[in-house]
Structure 1
């Protein structure tokens, strides 16, 4: 007999509220500031390389992104980047941290609907203070039974979190916009993985959809309550 679904985990950035679009806007500003030194495609590739290198040092989020922009600016200008550009990149990072949180469509209704019947956990990675601030601004905090702000999302992360929730991993579902971080590792530990796509996606979060019986995909969060009811 299948394990009854008792716990639902939600990703935060680009699942419940907008995030990636602010990175894209800032990256566009970054390219404009360095237009005299490199073409946009080359800058984008160098910045992505820097982000990939730096995740282990700085983690995920705005602060690591800002430091990677500065590092890339120094590299592509061979150390000649003006201090005024560094200043503007730092200001761009602060603007991202200060930007008001904006919920995605159906987010509030979806969370509220399943909160009535299931144990809810917010599982997100990124800057601790920034994520706490966005959750507070969202007005969704009181609907969650637990909040986990983690350095990365791997199978071991979900195994640890779901081991302390009702039903364990077999009775858990993870909902998110990242196949790599939200869906696949949750399925690997025996839970359900529900993919809710977002128009913008970070290249480092790309992965192919798994061929697994506990994988599901929704067009948006409006279909979540029905899916949860169907799974039982």
Structure 2
């Protein structure tokens, strides 16, 4: 009997391990450092605007985030930001790059279980060196048949990856916490898209859920994924 589903793609950050909360901690520190110059809510808006402008230049990840903070600090202080603040922001970025990986609940068990019956592909975006570091520290690397680190996630990326590393997008599933990056483009490619909400999601990763799409599912937690995979067959 031919299986409907042979390949499962996983997002990494905030699907397999914690990530966004470290950005939030650093952003709170950013607000403290600039409290004498601008209110926190206005600063957050200016930072988000900088991130939107810069993501096409710097890509996703910590390095682009730090550069956007520095740019925002220069702008909101009319170029009067103390060099000590710039130094602290750079130090905060280095600390983020050194932070130990903390797996989310059920991750290891689910990945190990599904790896016994399906090809597993890690599809993540961000800085190459940082993503490689996190995967190595996670201890999950051996469970994946292929790792794809991309600058952005699009339907074309999923079509190509699932064709080269599986039996095509129609027999593949993408699992992640970002509606914009993990679910919508995967469904556009012809795959199943599974959304597992995370308590903290970057504003640039929001998108409308593809309600009514037969290949779209939402799960409360990763531990429910094996049952969904069995139902699909």
> Structure 2 length as normaliser, TM-score?
0.98
Check if 1:20 corresponds to 2:26: no
CA-to-aligned-CA distance 1:172-204 (integer Å, 9 cap, x gap): 000000000000000001000000000001000
1:139 matched to 2:164: no
Secondary structure of the residue aligned to 2:165 is coil
Query: Following superposition, which runs of at least 4 residues in structure 1 exceed 3 angstroms of deviation?
Result: none
Alignment of 1:35-184 (within 5 A): 35-184=35-184
Equivalent position of 2:9 in the other structure: 9
Q: Distance in 1 between matches of 2:108 and 2:49?
A: 36
Partners of 1:3 and 1:81 in 2: CA distance: 59
Q: Aligned partners of 1:181 and 1:166: how far apart in 2?
A: 20
Q: Is the 8 A contact 2:146 2:165 kept in 1?
A: no
Counterparts of 2:81 and 2:159 in 1: how far apart (Å)? 45
C-alpha displacement at 1:156, in angstroms? 1.1
How many residues are aligned here? 232
1-side partners of 2:69 and 2:151: how far apart?
20
Q: TM-score, normalised by structure 1?
A: 0.98
Q: CA RMSD in A?
A: 1.2
What is the rounded CA distance, in whole Å, between the counterparts of 2:50 and 2:69 in structure 1? 8
Aligned to 1:196: 196
Aligned equivalents of 1:165, 1:128: Cα separation in 2: 20
Return 5+ residue gaps in structure 1 as ranges: none
Shift of 1:160: 1.3
Contact 2:58 2:64 in 1 (8 A): yes
Match of 1:213 in 2: 214
In 2, distance between residues paired with 1:8 and 1:95?
32
Task: Indicate conservation of the 8 Å contact 1:3/1:167, yes or no.
Answer: no
Cα displacement (A) at 1:166: 2.5
Tell me the secondary structure at the aligned position of residue 163 of structure 1: helix
Q: Could you tell me which runs of 5 or more consecutive residues in structure 2 were left unpaired when the two chains were aligned.
A: none
Distance in 1, Cα, partners of 2:70 & 2:227: 46
